[in-house]
Amino acid sequence: MDLATVDKLLTTTRSVRKRLDLDRPVPPEIIEECLEIAIQAPTGGNSQGWHFVVITDADKKAQIGELYKQSFFIYARSNQEQAESRGSRDHDPEQQNRVVKSAVFLAQNMHRVPVIVIPCIEGRVENAGPMAQAGLYGSILPATWSFMFALRARGLGAAWTTLHLRYENEIAEILGIPRHFTQAALLPVAYYTGDDFQPARRVPAAEVTSWENWGHKRE
């Protein structure tokens, strides 16, 4: 195994928004190939209760895009009001500003992405306890992340977002998703523009890691 290649994939798979190529078609065979890789991910009790809804139809993308845009701007206004009341807590204001701008771009152009993928998992969490919730999401989120890795390795990008879930029922109606399935995320998928991605600036792992007890650092 080429460790350097694996590490590069792990550290440079970004949520791609402004660099999504909205005009280049994505062959369905590539989506299917990446999904075959995704379903090798862990799933609780080997239940394999996942289901991936792939949307390429322009009318359905337009409906989803409109709901997503409405949800995004409600979310953005709420975040702005909270920031004004408590002050900014951003670790990296410059990077956060770029993220916000790219998120606005995605909200305004969601309907234009070549492919939208919604990973779903059988079951609901509304009345579930912490263990059941963790088990349910733990059976779909690794596969979703593996799907993004597979895309990245093939020159495609995606953005992990959940803002559509404000209108989960409406989107389920548009796509015919059964009520006993939970939508875990929404991924706009496209080839990306530009040459490559770099690791993001992060708070060092040592600052967010405890050994043996919370808050205890390794000597």
CB burial of residue 142 (10 Å; 0-12, 13-18, 19+): middle
Say yes or no to pLDDT of 83 above 90.
no
Question: What's the pTM?
Answer: 0.89
Query: Tens of pLDDT along 169-215?
Result: 999 999 999 999 999 999 999 999 987 888 888 899 999 999 999 99
Predicted confidence band of residue 92 (pLDDT cuts 50, 70, 90):
low
Query: How far is C-alpha 93 from the chain's CA centre?
Result: 22
**Which helix or strand (DSSP H or E) is residue 88 part of?**
none
Which fold would CATH assign to domain 13-77+93-193? NADH Oxidase (3.40.109)
Asked whether 115 and 189 are in contact (CB, 8 A), the reply is yes
User: Which of 5, 24, 69, 50 shows the shortest CA–CA distance to 189?
Assistant: 24
- The more confident residue out of 32 and 84 is 32
Q: What angle do CA 112, 118, 119 make, to 5 degrees?
A: 155
pLDDT of residue 68: 96
